[in-house]
Amino acid sequence: MLGILFNDKECKELDYVLRKELDEMLLDLNDSRLDGDIKTAIAKRYKVIFRMYARMASPKELSRYALNMRTYR
């Protein structure tokens, strides 16, 4: 396990970057042109990014990005 110290500005920037990445992956997961293998890879990455975001987001903000992962397998 690694630890990193961030100041407030850096925390806000990381929060922004993670939210944008989650938004982009949600768009990709809902794209009917992508096949199952690609969606599975995106879903795995989504889980990792979601867990990172969960460490800093409030439950209300986090609920926006919660998925039923069975849909994307």
Q: Which two tokens stand for residue 22?
A: 């989650």
**Structure confidence at residue 71 (pLDDT):** 57
Nearest 10 degrees: CA dihedral of 46, 19, 13, 53? -50
The domain segmentation of the chain, as residue ranges, is 6-62
Q: What is the pLDDT of residue 1?
A: 80
- What's the mean pLDDT when you consider all of the chain? 90
Record the tokens describing residue 25, joined without a space.
Answer: 């992956």
Mean pLDDT over 45-69 rounds to: 89
Residues 43 and 29 sit within 8 Å (Cβ to Cβ) = yes
pLDDT for 67 equals 77
